[in-house]
């Protein structure tokens, strides 16, 4: 009876041990499988990250090459540089992207590849255009060389031709300058008269300040065969003994002469008839003249055309 009880206990203990061993084996195999799956998923993630990095680096290299070529061809690289900046930003994010998604980056890579394909087409057109320009330039250069060869018998060399052209240009400029100077008007017999308030005219060149109500500047415009008959502005500068320009509101202003700005006393528009005409310009200062010697300068079309003097006692 006791032996039977011992055998029964042994069988129960053996069954429990086998069950525990089976359970431990199951748990071990399950944990091992779970670790294997985790390793497999991690390996896949690393491979995807590496593949994505390689693709982005390749696109970056292609963008650099295209930017360099477009610049060399004289094209606009603004859009390429903008996309390159975005790509570098994506590459930087990839290194710390804890929520990395291969689908998201594949979509980005697809966009970059589409952009590169579009730029390839534009580059092809740009190369063709530059090729056409180079061909045209080559043709033009050939034509230029042919023309130079044809003229070789007439000119000793290119330097002599350049010197001849320069000499002619200089001569033409000098001729133009001389013609311009020759066409300038000349004011002759510049006289200054004093007009009293009652209209009486005094001459002689020396006047009392109390007898000057207005000044009359009279001069002749000499005829000139190369001068044009047209309306001309005559600028008159009246300067006192100190060199200050006499001026009055409403009639005075500034003019350009020899690259400088000069003040003038009065301006008179005159129809130049080219017949030794006489011109009178009346000027009212509006205040008394100081005693001293005064000088008169007349200008027209950028030239000083005459001078005169008078004295106030």
Give the pLDDT means over successive 10-residue stretches in the chain (313 positions): 58 57 58 60 69 84 86 84 85 71 79 84 82 75 76 66 58 49 80 93 94 95 88 96 85 89 95 94 91 96 94 95
Give the per-residue pLDDT at 169: 58
288, 208 Cβ separation under 8 angstroms: no
Domain boundaries, the chain: 2-124, 187-312
Q: pLDDT digit string (tens) for 9-23? A: 566 556 556 555 655
278, 293 Cβ separation under 8 angstroms: no
CATH node for 187-312? 2.60.40.1930
Q: Please tell me the distance from the alpha carbon of residue 164 to that of residue 187, in angstroms, as a whole number.
A: 39
Q: pLDDT digit string (tens) for 24-36? A: 555 555 555 566 5
Give the per-residue pLDDT at 75: 81
Q: Please tell me the distance from the alpha carbon of residue 44 to that of residue 63, in angstroms, as a whole number.
A: 28
Give the per-residue pLDDT at 150: 73
Indicate the pairing of strand 292-300 with strand 231-239.
antiparallel
Give the per-residue pLDDT at 66: 81
Q: Please tell me the distance from the alpha carbon of residue 289 to that of residue 15, in angstroms, as a whole number.
A: 143
56, 87 Cβ separation under 8 angstroms: yes
Q: Please tell me the distance from the alpha carbon of residue 252 to that of residue 254, in angstroms, as a whole number.
A: 7
Give the per-residue pLDDT at 178: 45
Give the per-residue pLDDT at 107: 80
């Amino acid at each position: 009876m006791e032996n039977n009880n011992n055998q029964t206990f042994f069988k129960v203990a053996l069954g429990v041990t086998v069950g525990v061993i089976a359970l431990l084996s199951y748990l071990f195999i399950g944990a091992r499988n779970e670790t294997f799956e985790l390793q497999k998923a991690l390996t896949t993630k690393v491979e995807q990250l590496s593949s994505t990095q390689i693709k982005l680096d390749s696109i970056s290299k292609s963008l650099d090459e295209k930017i360099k070529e477009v610049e060399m061809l004289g094209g606009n690289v603004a859009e390429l540089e903008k996309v390159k900046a975005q790509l570098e930003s994506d590459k930087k994010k990839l290194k710390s992207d804890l929520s990395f998604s291969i689908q998201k980056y594949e979509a980005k890579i697809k966009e970059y590849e589409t952009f590169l394909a579009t730029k390839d087409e534009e580059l092809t057109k740009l190369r063709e255009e530059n090729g056409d320009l180079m061909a045209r330039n080559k043709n033009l250069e050939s034509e230029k060389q042919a023309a130079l060869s044809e003229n070789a018998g007439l000119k000793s060399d290119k330097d002599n031709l350049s010197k001849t052209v320069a000499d002619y240009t200089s001569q033409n400029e000098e001729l133009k300058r001389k013609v311009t100077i020759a066409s300038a008007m000349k004011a002759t017999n510049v006289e200054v008269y004093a007009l009293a308030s009652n209209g009486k005219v005094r001459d002689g060149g020396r006047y009392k300040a109390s007898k000057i109500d207005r000044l009359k500047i009279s001069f002749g415009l000499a005829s000139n065969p190369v001068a044009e008959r047209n309306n001309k502005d005559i600028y008159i500068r009246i300067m006192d003994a100190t060199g200050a320009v006499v001026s009055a509101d409403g009639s005075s202003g500034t003019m350009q002469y020899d690259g400088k700005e000069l003040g003038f006393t009065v301006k008179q528009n005159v129809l130049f008839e080219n017949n030794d005409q006489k011109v009178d310009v009346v000027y009212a200062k509006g205040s008394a003249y100081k005693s001293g010697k005064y000088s008169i300068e007349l200008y027209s079309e950028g030239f000083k055309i005459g001078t005169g003097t008078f004295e106030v006692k």
